[in-house]
């Protein structure tokens, strides 16, 4: 009988998406093939403390019981401060990093695992970093002729104290409504739909709570679809999924709190349009030099044209 592979699942972390990561990890561990894998959960608290396997299991049990949504805010000094955690990591055959957002999905976790010579699931350091930074991601997509919304980038002082002239310029370049979001982030955290010039200042301030760099994007009105891509040298697209939000846009609450959005698979899309979306998804995957897995999100315009929204490398 073949020995089971030891699969270390790392989750939680310091980003605003901590609770999302906990939810994702629970799903992965629930669906893991226990005939093939011995799953080892390793949690990271909101303040960066790495928990041992036993501590992680204890806190996960509390999450399952509805006693908490996160795995704690203990203060810590990172993985290298915990010899027990390092020993557990070294004993793993493969690592599945499910730390969403900054300090995890942005290439930092992948770099740590590369330095430790530990095999892991998902894209590498560069692809993860570019996929997280929406300014860099959009520059790569533009270079590969992948269609996307018009956007402008604000950084540092432009975010902290935008001038009236800068706000006027946004309206002239992008128009309203528009979406304002942190450049580095996901799960719609910090994202606001600005409907007019009166909304844009507050929207920038909200996004600026999460990042020093902010994107303002033209609002795309259309059907929301997503396509997973799996593989390495010859990546393959999945059938399309469709998101039918019950709110004006698919925000954090609609994704993780209200549970009211309809998720439809396969998407209600014409075969030719679906094939075009799948082609763009694979092109986006290759453009960032992704490996293993990613999900590419799109809006379908009324005339059927796909416009990429973003790529999620985890």
Give the CATH number of the domain where residue 19 resides. Answer: 3.40.50.20
The range of the structural domain enclosing residue 165 comes to: 151-218
Residues 49 and 52: their CA atoms lie apart, in Å, by 10
* In the chain, beta strands by DSSP E: 5-12, 37-44, 94-98, 151-155, 178-182, 192-194, 213-218, 223-231, 236-237, 241-244, 262-264, 292-300, 306-312
Residue 227 lies in a domain: yes
Q: How many domains does the chain have?
A: 3
Q: For residues 291 and 191, state if they share a domain.
A: no
Q: For residues 18 and 111, state if they share a domain.
A: yes
- What is the pTM for the complete model shown? 0.88
Residue 111 lies in a domain: yes
Q: For residues 15 and 115, state if they share a domain.
A: yes
Q: Which residue has the tokens 């580095």?
A: 184
| CA-based torsion, 212, 213, 218, 222: positive or negative | negative
Please tell me what DSSP assigns to residue 290. Answer: -
Q: For residues 111 and 15, state if they share a domain.
A: yes
Angle at 58 between CA 253 and CA 84, to 5 degrees: 115
Identify whether the C-beta of residue 235 lies closer than 8 Å to the C-beta of residue 282: yes
pLDDT in 10s for each residue of the chain, 314 residues:
578 999 999 999 999 899 999 999 999 999 999 999 999 999 999 999 999 999 999 999 999 999 999 999 887 666 666 778 888 999 999 999 999 999 999 999 999 999 999 999 999 999 999 999 999 999 999 999 999 999 999 999 999 999 999 999 999 999 999 999 999 987 788 899 999 999 999 999 999 999 999 999 999 989 999 999 999 999 999 999 999 876 665 455 555 455 667 899 999 999 999 999 999 999 999 999 999 999 999 999 999 999 999 999 98
Q: For residues 18 and 104, state if they share a domain.
A: yes
Q: Collect all residues with Cβ–Cβ distance below 8 Å to 50 and sequence separation of at least 6.
A: 42, 43, 44, 76, 78, 79, 81, 82, 85
Boundary of a domain, candidates 198, 218, 238: 218
Write the CATH number for 259. Answer: 3.30.470.20
CA 254 to chain centre: 16
Residue 129 lies in a domain: no
Residue 181 phi, psi dihedral angles, 5° rounding: -150, 155
């Amino acid at each position: 009988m073949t020995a089971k592979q030891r699969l270390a699942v790392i989750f939680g972390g310091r980003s605003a998406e901590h609770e999302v990561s906990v939810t994702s990890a629970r799903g992965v561990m629930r669906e893991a093939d226990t005939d093939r894998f011995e799953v080892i959960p390793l949690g990271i608290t909101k303040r960066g403390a790495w928990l041992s396997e036993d501590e992680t299991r204890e806190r996960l049990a509390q999450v399952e019981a509805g006693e908490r949504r996160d795995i704690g805010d203990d203060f810590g000094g990172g993985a290298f401060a915990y010899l027990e955690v390092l020993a557990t990591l070294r004993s793993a055959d493969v690592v599945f990093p499910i730390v969403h957002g900054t300090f995890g999905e942005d290439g930092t976790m992948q770099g740590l695992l590369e330095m430790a010579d530990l095999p892991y699931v998902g894209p590498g350091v560069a692809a993860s970093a570019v996929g997280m930074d929406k300014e860099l991601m959009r520059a790569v997509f533009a270079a590969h002729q992948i269609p996307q919304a018009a956007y402008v980038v604000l950084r540092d002082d432009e975010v902290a104290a935008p001038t009236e002239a800068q706000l006027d310029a946004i309206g002239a370049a992008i128009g309203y409504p528009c979406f304002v979001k942190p450049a580095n982030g996901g799960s719609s955290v910090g994202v606001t739909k600005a409907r007019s010039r009166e909304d844009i200042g507050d929207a920038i301030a909200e996004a600026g709570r999460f990042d020093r760099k902010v994107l303002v994007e033209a609002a795309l009105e259309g059907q929301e679809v997503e396509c997973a891509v799996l593989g390495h040298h010859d990546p393959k697209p999945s059938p399309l999924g469709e998101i039918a939000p019950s709110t004006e846009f698919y925000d954090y609450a609609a994704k993780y709190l209200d549970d009211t959005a309809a998720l439809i698979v396969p998407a209600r899309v014409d075969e030719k349009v679906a094939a075009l979306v799948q082609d763009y998804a694979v092109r986006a995957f290759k453009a960032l030099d992704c490996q293993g897995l990613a999900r590419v999100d799109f809006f379908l315009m009324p005339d059927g044209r796909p416009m990429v929204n973003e790529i999620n490398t985890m």
